Amino acid sequence: MEDAGALLGKARRIVVKVGSSLLTAADGTLKRDFIAGFGRELAKWRGEKRDFAIVTSGAVAAGMSVLGRQSKPQTITDMHVMAAVGQISLFRAYDEILSPLGFMPAQVLLTAEELAHRTTYINARSTLRRLFELGVVPIVNENDAIAITDRRFGDNDRLAAEIANLIEAELLVILTDVPGVYRDLEAKELLAHAVAADELLDRCVDDSRPTRHGSGGMGSKIEAARRAANSGAATVIAAGADFGRLVAGEGAGTLITDGAGPVRSRMRAKERWLATCAKANGSVYIDEGAVAALLERGRSLLPAGVTRVEGSFQRGDVVSCLDGGGTPVAQGMINYASHEVAALARRQSSEIEKVLGYVIAEEIIHRDNMVRL
């Protein structure tokens, strides 16, 4: 099994996420010396025909420093305000430090709501691809000034995973203030490699020590690694101080892979969006036969396999398919509204016109508009 350094040496498209704990001091001021060292390591990739995007945190903390606040915002509006003020300081620092190193940085601000919509998802992907073609380094942050609280990315770990999926990155590097994932929390024994689905990772989480300015934790980083693995991207969770070792091709941190090698060729762009970004607007429960048809034979979901409907949705919305126990097995864009699906449950496709008076499609969700989970 390759270690993290060897994998980083071969990857051609990389996302590097930098956490708040690395970027900001206890008083919220930006650690410009860290950004400078980080930039010097990135500069070593110049000329190696790599594309890389930076996903950064730190805007809220920077805004707190500028406005003289000592504690985290307690209201949504105050958080938005801190982010709006802090974005200027944060990106000014990146520009002032990275530009002399030969980089042309670009600011990209996104929200989960924007990536959940197919059109803006495609727009974001096109923009990032064009930036790579022009030799520009995208610096991506959540648009905290307008982000909806219950749909936030969580210290940008999830955002980094979704950017990795969006640009078809081979590797996601999450830099934090610990050396990686500890196999043994008491002995601080580092886990060198893990498979994303391994339950061992869940026992390695210790989120009892929140950072002053961060909103994530090891749990959100492991979840990000699992999201990245959905489209074949490996993830390295490592200390910011070890980034230079990774760039040099040395092993560091914890490497999390999907356990089956690259699967990106088997997952189309639409499937990546459905699996990682799309927001489900409702659910349909399906029987055992339908579960087997979807997962084992790659079939479409037909009316006969639907047992009941949950939530309200319209034609074209993204809907989750749940087995009898409520476990998600697939997700896709549905051909009928919720009331229509409810009327068609347990019916044959040949009965659709009799029940509804019209036929939009023979399938409730076509296999081409579905991703198996």
Q: Read off the CATH number of the domain in which 304 is found.
A: 2.30.130.10
158 exposure class (CB count in 10 Å sphere: 0-12, 13-18, 19+): buried
CB atoms within 10 A of CB 346: 12
Position 86 in a domain: yes
Position 162 in a domain: yes
Position 190 in a domain: yes
pLDDT at 208: 46
Domain harbouring 15, CATH code: 3.40.1160.10
Torsion angle of C-alpha atoms 80, 81, 87, 89, degrees rounded to 10? -150
205 vs 206, residue with greater confidence: 205
What does DSSP assign to residue 322?
E
Same domain, 240 and 319: no
Give binding residues as ranges.
17, 57, 144, 156, 176-177, 215-221
Domain boundary among 251, 270, 289: 270
Same domain, 247 and 302: no
CB 23 within 8 A of CB 177: no
Of the candidates 123, 126, 130, 128, the one whose C-alpha atom is nearest the C-alpha of residue 140 is 128
Phi/psi for 111 (5° steps) reads -125, 160
Rounded to an integer, what distance in angstroms lies between the CA atom of residue 275 and that of residue 254?
24
pLDDT of 188 higher than 90: no
Position 275 in a domain: no
Same domain, 262 and 289: no
Contacts by residues 92-99 (CB-CB < 8 Å, ≥ 24 positions apart): 93/30, 93/32, 93/35, 94/35, 94/54, 94/56, 94/139, 97/32, 97/35, 97/36, 97/39, 98/35, 98/39, 98/42, 98/137
Mean pLDDT (the chain, rounded): 86
pLDDT at 18: 95
Phi/psi for 235 (5° steps) reads -130, 140
> Quick one: tokens of 112?
């989960």
Give binding residues for substrate as ranges.
57, 144, 156
Same domain, 205 and 81: yes
Task: Please report the beta strands in the chain, taking only residues with DSSP state E, as ranges in sequence order.
Answer: 13-18, 51-56, 105-110, 137-142, 171-176, 182-184, 189-190, 193-195, 234-239, 254-257, 283-286, 306-310, 318-322, 328-333, 370-372
Rounded to an integer, what distance in angstroms lies between the CA atom of residue 345 and that of residue 329?
18
Rounded to an integer, what distance in angstroms lies between the CA atom of residue 15 and that of residue 196?
18
pLDDT of 22 higher than 90: yes
Same domain, 244 and 128: yes
Domain of 328 in residue numbering reads as 280-372
Same domain, 168 and 48: yes
- The structural domain count of the chain equals 2
What does DSSP assign to residue 44?
T
Position 173 in a domain: yes
Domain boundary among 232, 251, 270: 270
Alpha carbons within 13 angstroms on the beta-carbon side of residue 213 total 28
Structure confidence by residue, pLDDT tens digits, 80-118: 899 899 999 999 999 999 999 999 999 999 988 888 888
pTM of the model: 0.78
Same domain, 264 and 312: no
pLDDT at 264: 45
Same domain, 90 and 45: yes
Band of the pLDDT at 262, cuts 50, 70, 90?
very low
Same domain, 237 and 285: no
Band of the pLDDT at 194, cuts 50, 70, 90?
confident
153 exposure class (CB count in 10 Å sphere: 0-12, 13-18, 19+): buried
Structure confidence by residue, pLDDT tens digits, 279-335: 889 999 999 999 999 999 999 999 999 999 999 999 989 999 999 999 999 999 999
Same domain, 148 and 79: yes
Position 28 in a domain: yes
> Quick one: tokens of 96?
């002032």
Give binding residues for ATP as ranges.
17, 176-177, 215-221
Same domain, 54 and 197: yes
pLDDT at 200: 77
Domain boundary among 220, 236, 270: 270
Position 36 in a domain: yes
Position 345 in a domain: yes
Same domain, 266 and 343: no
